[in-house]
């Protein structure tokens, strides 16, 4: 481990020196063709601001995240490109606070093995693919990202690549959270079309299950999930416990059945028809594969333990699998020009819509069993730029609301059982909405933004206030605050109610 | 994960793919991509004459170069017939004592004629030593003899053939169906003379009907510190009224059925945040039809539909807005209409670069070096915005009378302050009848920021629709 750490530090320093010493562009000539190196180095710090000495929140510094992202591209021919990227992530809070009594006694130090350093091969090697683009074709083999959908922050139809959510809502870069997979993708753009179709392409995706990763979710228990471990309580049986006794959900054991490498049970297939019709982008999507999120049952309980504050901690055993996922869906996007208004700046909103119908989704019940139900999910979003001169005389405000519903078809009669997720009940309709507002000052150098996500069904909120200063196209500084609240214990964002934090990040981007 | 299995599974097919691609016949054309361009011209402090080192005769396949070249005297004669004059014959009337030679800004004090020949903005804000807050001042220049500018022979023929066909309505707006090809109003006249001049620019044939270009894009704050450093590739296609590069007329059936006018595909190679972003814009003949504006967003790995009405916000830290790209927003009686007037018609000194040796110096206040100027007969057009909600209250534009190229634009905000200016330094390629952009300077006079672009534009004959559409965006994207 020490060697790995030292190697990582040396690599980071070398990359930094290489980057800083590069001047305008990190480009080399290899065989007469350009070979590009670029990336970024970020260093962040986050401080809990809940203000109370809570079991699920460290005092003061709670993370000191470093990301080093390196990407390379080489084009030996105009129609052939090799691309690779790698990332190193470390949270130095585990070193800085290793002797901190609060950090150790609350169990955060014990999550070191999960969250100190991302050094698994699938974490270090992000993308590695070759792309061949003869006329009308785009063929890509290798570890890659295939991104579907129109929504930001909500994942409906975008189900091919898993997500790394272990670090919760921390201000990580987009490319750090999507997990590339080894896949083959072929796109064919149809040259002869009816005149009412401006563009038409067919995309086929095959995942041979070279390495099943699945979504990386926040684990319960400070000693497993770290600073983002949710605060969830569960009632204890009486007797033997006093009436009304509760325990916190602590670390759990997860035993998820996953397909072995290249086993056909893990094969995944995606088909997307992409088109531009009358200036609208329309896609039809179909997917057959595995849900990146497992479904689980409680199959046991380890002995109760006691937390630093004297609370009892439950340690459930979960057994589960990554169930089959089959859906068809589509997306639509265009601007609605009749809605432009001169007094608002003359910009028409862009409407984004996406939907899918999943056949036979596997759901967890309140009776700790699995059932199959179809699901219908849809989401609508809008991006509207408006001019508010009194607040910003020179730049526009971009206002982006989104709404989504996850509807369970043939929802069970509640007298039998209800459906649930680890994050709380799953209702017949499950509504989420979000709002993003951003603008810019100082010639686009200062970008403040406000983001609000509301779980309408569980009546909970997540707010993020952030300002980014782009000193140059190399140096960027971010400062922000995140807050969480909820009305129903253990549901929606409520389990994160003690996670309010202020964060700061410096980024150096090169290439 | 079994590393060996994965490598075996993907390495071999990938290697096969690469070998298959490599085994196919390579293009017999040395594309002037970013790497090639960087070898012949640096972003700054580089006086090399890029249009000599990378002349089109050197970079284009011989058959293509031959297709895009015509007899110079024939082109000169044809264009003179079309517009009614040759520039050298109509200049020299103002301050005839100012002859070709080298001049410095100090000469304006002793030579009032030199001062008189300068566009006022140049006299006050450009022709002087480099100093904050904007890049691009030049304290010295070489005055060269005025040249005749003309277009490709097929453009002259099309202009002559279609003269008189293009019509304006009663308010001076073009009737789209009446335009076929060529410069619509080669001899502007009548009550809508100003509008005709503007439409000549909108329908012009500079920079080739199909082109592939690469260039740096640098931004500097008011302290002359670089805050943006971009590298961009741009493909452009004229979709309607093609005369010189096949296919002639409409580019394809889609362009014809949808009445498309032009297409641009822009891809970012740098900075890192924008690497792998591609922008596709298709414009239509009918000004009432909004552009089809799509962006491949690199970090999302997705194509997003953007609103083509979002034309007044500054483009990512640059000193232009979308509406400034063609000089001004689409002429539409129902959306930010203008009152267009001809306010000047006379000769001025206009900056050029005959061989691409012009360069930005990193020292001495970011001065521009190797600037050449020549007397040009110009139209000065004032466009007064009739909608008080628009970002600009008026624009002042300087067009060349001979080829209708737009050289200088001043944009004033609703308070009457000078807001943004844009200046294009061009290079004329005689054997191809082509005027191309060599250096572009944009200045923000309110935020005190400036930027420059150094495009190298190559006329090509092999662009496909796929290069300009969804397929092209995905290929250029990350």
Helices (H) and strands (E) in chain B, counts: 15, 17
Residue B271 to residue A175, Cβ atoms within 8 A? no
Question: In this predicted structure, what is the pLDDT of residue B297?
Answer: 94
Task: State yes or no: pLDDT of B273 exceeds 90.
Answer: no
Rounded to 5°, the CA angle B228-B234-B236 comes to 145
Question: What is the average pLDDT across A47-59?
Answer: 90
In chain A, residues with a C-beta closer than 8 Å to the C-beta of B292 are 198, 276, 279
Percentage of residues in chain A with pLDDT exceeding 90?
A: 78
Distance CA A364, CA A425 (A): 10
Residue A276 to residue B253, Cβ atoms within 8 A? no
Task: State yes or no: pLDDT of B443 exceeds 80.
Answer: yes
**3-state secondary structure at position A31:** coil
Label residue B9 by pLDDT band (50, 70, 90).
Answer: low
| Of A461-475, B120-134, B315-329, minimum mean pLDDT range | B315-329
A510, A475 in Cβ contact below 8 A?
no
| Residue B42: Cβ within 10 Å count | 17
| Of A98-107, A417-426, B66-75, B394-403, minimum mean pLDDT range | A417-426
Distance CA B3, CA B1 (A): 6
In chain A, residues with a C-beta closer than 8 Å to the C-beta of B389 are 342-343, 345-346, 387
Cβ–Cβ contact A335 with B under 8 A: yes
In 3-state terms chain A splits into helix, strand, coil percentages (rounded to 5) of 10, 50, 35
Percentage of residues in chain B with pLDDT exceeding 70?
A: 93
Residue B21 to residue A395, Cβ atoms within 8 A? no
Nearest to B6 among A24, A29, A182 (CB): A182
Residue B9 to residue A262, Cβ atoms within 8 A? yes
Structure tokens at B317: 């830290």
Tell me the nearest-neighbour CA distance from B112 into chain A, angstroms. 38
Cα dist. B378→A163, B83, B201, B327, B398 in Å?
59, 13, 13, 16, 6
Which residues, numbered 472 to 491 in chain A, qualify as contacts with chain B under a Cβ-Cβ cut-off of 8 Å? 472-474
B109, B153 in Cβ contact below 8 A?
no
DSSP of B341-391: EEEEEEEEEEEE-SSS--EE-SSTTT-EES-EEEEEEEEEEEEEES-TTSS
Task: State yes or no: pLDDT of B1 exceeds 60.
Answer: no
Cα dist. A248→A56, A471, A508 in Å?
10, 45, 41
Which residue matches tokens 């091969």? A121
Rounded to 5°, the CA angle B108-B404-B426 comes to 60
Task: State yes or no: pLDDT of B289 exceeds 60.
Answer: yes
Label residue B313 by pLDDT band (50, 70, 90).
Answer: confident
Which residue matches tokens 């059925």? B257
Percentage of residues in chain A with pLDDT exceeding 70?
A: 94
Residue B290 to residue A337, Cβ atoms within 8 A? yes
Nearest to A473 among B227, B269, B447 (CB): B227
Could you report the per-residue pLDDT of A272-330, keeping only the tens digit for each?
Answer: 999 999 999 999 999 999 999 999 999 999 999 999 888 899 999 999 999 999 999 99
Could you report the per-residue pLDDT of B97-112, keeping only the tens digit for each?
Answer: 999 999 999 999 999 9
Asked casually if ipTM beats, i.e. exceeds, 0.90, the reply is yes
Task: State yes or no: pLDDT of B323 exceeds 70.
Answer: yes
- By C-alpha distance, which of A130, A124, A121, A100 is closest to A112? A100
Residue span of the structural domain in which A260 resides? 2-510
Which residues, numbered 11 to 70 in chain A, qualify as contacts with chain B under a Cβ-Cβ cut-off of 8 Å? 24-25, 27, 29, 32-34, 36, 38-40
Arithmetic mean of pLDDT over chain A: 91
Mutation site for A-interface testing, chosen from B215, B275, B466, B476 by largest number of A Cβ within 10 Å: B466
Could you report the per-residue pLDDT of B200-257, keeping only the tens digit for each?
Answer: 999 999 989 999 999 989 999 999 999 998 999 999 999 999 999 999 999 999 999 9
Could you report the per-residue pLDDT of A82-119, keeping only the tens digit for each?
Answer: 999 999 999 999 999 999 999 999 999 999 999 999 99
Label residue B363 by pLDDT band (50, 70, 90).
Answer: confident
In chain A, residues with a C-beta closer than 8 Å to the C-beta of B22 are 76-77, 80
B234, B264 in Cβ contact below 8 A?
yes
B57, B68 in Cβ contact below 8 A?
no
Task: State yes or no: pLDDT of B406 exceeds 60.
Answer: yes
Tell me the nearest-neighbour CA distance from A235 into chain B, angstroms. 40
- By C-alpha distance, which of B138, B142, B145 is closest to B101? B142
Burial class of B3 by CB neighbour count within 10 A (0 to 12, 13 to 18, 19+)? exposed
Label residue B300 by pLDDT band (50, 70, 90).
Answer: very high
Cα dist. B47→A209, B54, B328, B353, B359 in Å?
55, 14, 32, 11, 6
B277, B295 in Cβ contact below 8 A?
yes
Percentage of residues in chain B with pLDDT exceeding 90?
A: 82
Residue B18 to residue A130, Cβ atoms within 8 A? yes
Could you report the per-residue pLDDT of A137-172, keeping only the tens digit for each?
Answer: 999 999 999 999 999 988 999 999 999 999 988 766
- By C-alpha distance, which of A303, A299, A210 is closest to A256? A299
What dihedral do alpha carbons B39, B41, B43, B47 form, nearest 10°? 140
Task: State yes or no: pLDDT of A27 exceeds 80.
Answer: no
Residue B272 to residue A510, Cβ atoms within 8 A? yes
Distance CA B300, CA B391 (A): 31
Q: Which helix (H) or strand (E) segment is B200 a member of?
A: helix B193-202
- By C-alpha distance, which of A357, A375, A235, A217 is closest to A296? A217
Q: Which helix (H) or strand (E) segment is B12 a member of?
A: helix B3-23
**3-state secondary structure at position B74:** helix
Distance CA B381, CA B391 (A): 19
Compute the half-sphere exposure of residue B428: CA atoms within 13 Å on the CB side of its CA. Answer: 18
Residue B305 to residue A191, Cβ atoms within 8 A? no
Dihedral class, residue B468 (left if φ above 0, else alpha if ψ from -120 to 50, else beta): alpha
φ and ψ at residue A275, rounded to 5 degrees: -150, 155
Cβ–Cβ contact A102 with B under 8 A: no
Going along chain B from its start, the domains and CATH numbers come out as: 34-476 (2.50.20.10)
φ and ψ at residue A15, rounded to 5 degrees: -60, -40
Distance CA A274, CA B182 (A): 36
φ and ψ at residue B158, rounded to 5 degrees: -65, -40
Distance CA A109, CA A117 (A): 13
Task: State yes or no: pLDDT of B22 exceeds 70.
Answer: no
Label residue B20 by pLDDT band (50, 70, 90).
Answer: low
Distance CA A289, CA A322 (A): 10
| Residue B93: Cβ within 10 Å count | 10
Residue B38 to residue A27, Cβ atoms within 8 A? yes
Structure tokens at A93: 């809070």
Tell me the nearest-neighbour CA distance from A138 into chain B, angstroms. 7
Tell me the nearest-neighbour CA distance from A70 into chain B, angstroms. 11
Residues sharing a CB contact under 8 Å with residue B365, sequence separation 6 or more, in sequence order = B129, B130, B131, B132, B135, B137, B224
Residues sharing a CB contact under 8 Å with residue B158, sequence separation 6 or more, in sequence order = B180, B181, B182, B241, B243
Could you report the per-residue pLDDT of A238-266, keeping only the tens digit for each?
Answer: 878 888 888 999 999 999 999 999 999 99
Compute the half-sphere exposure of residue B349: CA atoms within 13 Å on the CB side of its CA. Answer: 29
Could you report the per-residue pLDDT of B411-441, keeping only the tens digit for each?
Answer: 999 999 999 999 999 999 999 999 999 999 9
- Domains in chain A, number: 1
Residue A279 to residue B9, Cβ atoms within 8 A? no
Residue A343 to residue B1, Cβ atoms within 8 A? no
Distance CA A36, CA B288 (A): 42
Could you report the per-residue pLDDT of A340-353, keeping only the tens digit for each?
Answer: 998 899 999 999 99
Task: State yes or no: pLDDT of B309 exceeds 80.
Answer: yes
Compute the count of residue pairs across chains A and B with CB atoms less than 8 Å apart: 226
Which chain B residue has its CA at the smallest distance from A470's CA? B227
Which chain B residue has its CA at the smallest distance from A127's CA? B478
B224, B365 in Cβ contact below 8 A?
yes
Residue B314 to residue A334, Cβ atoms within 8 A? no
In chain B, residues with a C-beta closer than 8 Å to the C-beta of A136 are 466, 471
B137, B450 in Cβ contact below 8 A?
no
Which chain B residue has its CA at the smallest distance from A41's CA? B272
Residue A79 to residue B6, Cβ atoms within 8 A? no
Residue B228 to residue A25, Cβ atoms within 8 A? no
Distance CA B448, CA B220 (A): 9
Task: State yes or no: pLDDT of B120 exceeds 80.
Answer: yes
Residue B336 to residue A27, Cβ atoms within 8 A? no
Residues sharing a CB contact under 8 Å with residue A247, sequence separation 6 or more, in sequence order = A233, A234, A236, A304, A311, A312, A313, A314
Structure tokens at A174: 């987009």
Residue B478 CA, chain-centre distance (Å), reads: 26
Label residue A23 by pLDDT band (50, 70, 90).
Answer: very low
Tell me the nearest-neighbour CA distance from A63 into chain B, angstroms. 24
Which residue matches tokens 């000693």? A223
Which chain B residue has its CA at the smallest distance from A120's CA? B1
Question: What is the average pLDDT across B365-393?
Answer: 96
A440, A468 in Cβ contact below 8 A?
no
B340, B172 in Cβ contact below 8 A?
yes
Task: State yes or no: pLDDT of A410 exceeds 80.
Answer: yes
Question: In this predicted structure, what is the pLDDT of residue A1?
Answer: 44
Residues sharing a CB contact under 8 Å with residue A72, sequence separation 6 or more, in sequence order = A35, A36, A37, A38, A82, A83, A84, A85
Residue B43 to residue A24, Cβ atoms within 8 A? yes
Distance CA A192, CA B254 (A): 10
Looking up residue A64, the CATH number of its domain turns out to be: 2.40.160.10
Per-residue DSSP letter, A393: S
In chain B, residues with a C-beta closer than 8 Å to the C-beta of A129 are 14
Per-residue DSSP letter, A355: E
Which residues, numbered 132 to 191 in chain A, qualify as contacts with chain B under a Cβ-Cβ cut-off of 8 Å? 132-136, 138-139, 141-143, 145-150, 152, 173-175, 182, 184, 187, 189, 191
Which residue matches tokens 């709670």? A62
Question: In this predicted structure, what is the pLDDT of residue A130?
Answer: 97
Please list the residues that pair with B296 across neighbouring strands: B278, B303
Structure tokens at A497: 């109610």
Per-residue DSSP letter, A108: G
What dihedral do alpha carbons A380, A386, A390, A392 form, nearest 10°? 100
A330, A355 in Cβ contact below 8 A?
yes
| B317 compared with A221, residue with greater pLDDT | A221
Rounded to 5°, the CA angle B238-B242-B248 comes to 125
Task: State yes or no: pLDDT of A9 exceeds 60.
Answer: no
Which residues, numbered 380 to 399 in chain A, qualify as contacts with chain B under a Cβ-Cβ cut-off of 8 Å? 383, 385, 387, 394-396
Distance CA A72, CA A510 (A): 12
Question: In this predicted structure, what is the pLDDT of residue B23?
Answer: 43
Residue B447 to residue A394, Cβ atoms within 8 A? yes
């Amino acid at each position: 481990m020490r060697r790995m750490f030292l190697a990582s530090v040396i690599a980071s320093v070398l990359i930094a020196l290489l980057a800083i010493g590069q001047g305008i562009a990190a480009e080399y000539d290899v065989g007469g063709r350009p070979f590009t190196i670029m990336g970024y180095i970020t260093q962040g710090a986050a401080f809990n601001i809940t203000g109370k000495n809570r079991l699920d929140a460290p005092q003061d510094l709670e993370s000191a995240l470093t990301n080093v992202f390196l990407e390379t591209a080489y084009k030996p021919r105009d129609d052939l490109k090799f691309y690779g990227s790698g990332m190193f992530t470390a949270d130095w809070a585990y070193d800085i606070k290793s002797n901190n009594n609060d950090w150790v006694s609350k169990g955060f130090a014990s999550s070191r093995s999960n969250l100190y350093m991302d050094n698994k091969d699938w974490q270090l090697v992000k993308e590695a693919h070759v792309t061949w683009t003869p006329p009308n074709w785009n063929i890509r083999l290798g570890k890659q990202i295939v991104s579907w959908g129109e929504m930001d922050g909500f994942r409906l139809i975008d189900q091919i690549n898993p997500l790394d959510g272990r670090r919760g809502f921390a201000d990580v870069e987009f490319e750090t959270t999507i997990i590339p997979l080894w896949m083959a993708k072929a796109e064919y753009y149809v040259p002869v079309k009816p005149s009412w179709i401006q563009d038409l392409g067919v995309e086929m995706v095959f995942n041979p299950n070279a390495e099943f990763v699945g979504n990386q979710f926040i684990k319960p228990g400070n000693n497993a999930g770290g600073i983002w471990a949710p605060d969830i309580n569960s009632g204890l049986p009486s007797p033997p416990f006093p009436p009304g006794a509760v325990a916190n959900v602590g670390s759990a054991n997860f035993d998820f059945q996953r397909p072995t490498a290249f086993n056909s049970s893990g094969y995944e297939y995606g088909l997307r028809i992409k088109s531009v019709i009358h200036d609208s982008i329309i896609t039809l999507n179909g997917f057959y594969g595995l849900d990146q999120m497992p479904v689980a049952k409680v199959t046991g309980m380890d002995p109760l333990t006691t937390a630093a504050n004297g609370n009892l901690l439950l340690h459930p055993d979960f057994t589960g699998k990554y169930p089959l996922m089959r859906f068809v869906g589509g997306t639509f996007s265009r601007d609605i020009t009749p809605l432009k208004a001169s007094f608002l700046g003359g910009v028409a909103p862009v409407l984004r819509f996406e939907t899918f119908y999943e056949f036979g989704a596997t759901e967890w019940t309140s009776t700790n069993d699995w059932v199959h139900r179809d699901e219908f999910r849809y989401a609508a979003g809008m991006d509207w730029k408006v001019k508010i001169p009194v607040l910003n005389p020179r730049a526009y405000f971009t206002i982006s609301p989104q709404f989504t519903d996850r509807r369970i078809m043939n929802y069970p009669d509640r007298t039998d059982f209800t459906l649930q997720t680890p994050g709380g009940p799953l209702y017949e309709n499950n509504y989420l909405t979000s709002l993003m507002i951003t603008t810019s000052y100082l010639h686009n150098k200062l970008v403040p933004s406000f983001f609000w996500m509301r779980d309408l069904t569980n009546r909970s909120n997540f707010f993020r206030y952030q300002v980014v200063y782009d000193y140059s196209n190399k140096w960027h500084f971010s400062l922000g605050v995140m807050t969480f609240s909820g009305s129903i214990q253990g549901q929606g964002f409520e389990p994160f109610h003690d996670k309010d934090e202020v964060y700061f990040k410096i980024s150096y981007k090169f290439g | 994960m079994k590393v060996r299995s994965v490598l075996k599974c993907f390495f071999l097919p990938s290697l096969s793919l690469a070998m298959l691609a490599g085994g196919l016949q390579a293009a017999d054309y040395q594309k002037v991509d970013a790497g090639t361009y960087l070898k012949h011209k640096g972003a700054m402090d580089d006086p090399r004459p890029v249009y000599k080192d990378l002349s089109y005769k050197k970079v284009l396949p011989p058959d293509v170069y031959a297709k895009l070249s015509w007899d110079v005297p024939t082109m000169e004669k044809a264009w003179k017939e079309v517009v009614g004059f040759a520039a050298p014959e109509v200049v020299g009337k103002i301050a005839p004592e100012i002859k070709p030679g080298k001049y410095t800004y100090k000469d304006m004090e002793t030579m009032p004629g030199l001062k008189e020949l300068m566009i006022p903005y140049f006299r006050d804000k450009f022709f002087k030593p480099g100093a904050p807050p904007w890049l691009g001042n030049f304290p010295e220049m070489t005055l060269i003899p005025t040249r005749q500018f003309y277009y490709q022979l097929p453009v002259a023929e099309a202009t002559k053939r279609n003269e008189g066909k293009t019509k304006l309505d009663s308010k001076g707006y073009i009737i789209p169906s009446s335009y076929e090809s060529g410069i619509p109003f080669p001899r502007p006249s009548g009550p809508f003379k100003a509008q005709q001049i503007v439409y000549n620019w909108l329908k012009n044939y500079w920079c080739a009907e199909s082109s592939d270009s690469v260039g740096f894009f640098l931004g500097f704050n008011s302290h002359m510190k670089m805050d943006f450093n971009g590298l961009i590739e741009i493909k452009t296609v004229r979709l309607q009224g093609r005369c010189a590069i096949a296919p002639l007329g409409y580019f394809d059936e889609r362009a014809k059925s949808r009445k498309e006018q032009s297409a641009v595909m822009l891809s970012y190679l740098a900075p890192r945040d924008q690497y792998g972003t591609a922008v596709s814009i298709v414009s239509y003949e009918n000004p009432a039809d909004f552009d089809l504006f799509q962006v491949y967003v690199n970090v999302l790995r997705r194509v997003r539909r953007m609103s083509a009405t979002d034309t007044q916000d500054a483009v990512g830290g640059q000193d232009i807005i979308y509406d400034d790209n063609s000089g001004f927003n689409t002429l539409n009686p129902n959306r930010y209409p203008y009152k267009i007037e001809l306010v000047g018609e006379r000769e001025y000194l206009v900056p050029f670069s005959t061989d691409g040796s012009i360069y930005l110096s990193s020292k001495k206040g970011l001065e521009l070096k190797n600037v050449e100027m020549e007397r040009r007969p110009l139209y000065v057009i004032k466009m007064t915005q009739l909608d008080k909600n628009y970002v600009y209250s008026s624009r002042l534009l300087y067009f060349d009378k001979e080829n209708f190229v737009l050289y200088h634009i001043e944009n004033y905000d609703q308070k009457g302050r000078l807001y943004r200016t844009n200046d294009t330094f061009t290079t004329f390629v005689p054997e191809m009848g082509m005027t191309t952009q060599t250096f572009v300077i944009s200045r923000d006079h309110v935020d005190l920021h400036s930027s420059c672009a150094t495009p190298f534009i190559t006329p090509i004959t092999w662009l496909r629709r796929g290069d300009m559409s969804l397929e092209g965006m995905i290929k250029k994207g990350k």
